């Protein structure tokens, strides 16, 4: 079992959830619900892993709050 962290946003134009795995080229998808998005991401990641180990281009570290006054 492999676990990946996806960043999820909601597109204001389509009202769809959009998700991607930072640093994992091609690991992105969308869905009408969070459950659909999760399933779509699983499918995409599985297809990418079938091609071989991913060539990560970065490392997800986290989020940061920035206060501007």
Q: List pLDDT tens digits, range 19-68.
A: 999 999 999 999 999 999 999 999 999 999 999 998 889 888 888 999 99
Look at residue 16 in the predicted model and tell me its pLDDT. Answer: 98
Give strand ranges (E) for the chain: 7-10, 17-20, 28-31
In the sheet where 17-20 sits, what is the strand order?
Answer: 7-10, 17-20, 28-31
C-alpha–C-alpha distance, residues 52 and 47, integer Å: 9
Tokens for 60?
């997800």
């Amino acid at each position: 079992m492999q676990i990946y962290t996806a960043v999820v946003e909601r597109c204001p134009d389509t009202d769809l959830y959009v998700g991607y795995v930072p640093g994992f080229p091609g690991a992105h998808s969308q869905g009408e619900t969070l459950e659909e998005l999760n399933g779509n991401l699983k499918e995409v990641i599985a297809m990418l892993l079938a091609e071989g180990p991913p060539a990560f281009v970065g490392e997800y570290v986290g989020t940061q709050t920035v206060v501007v006054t």
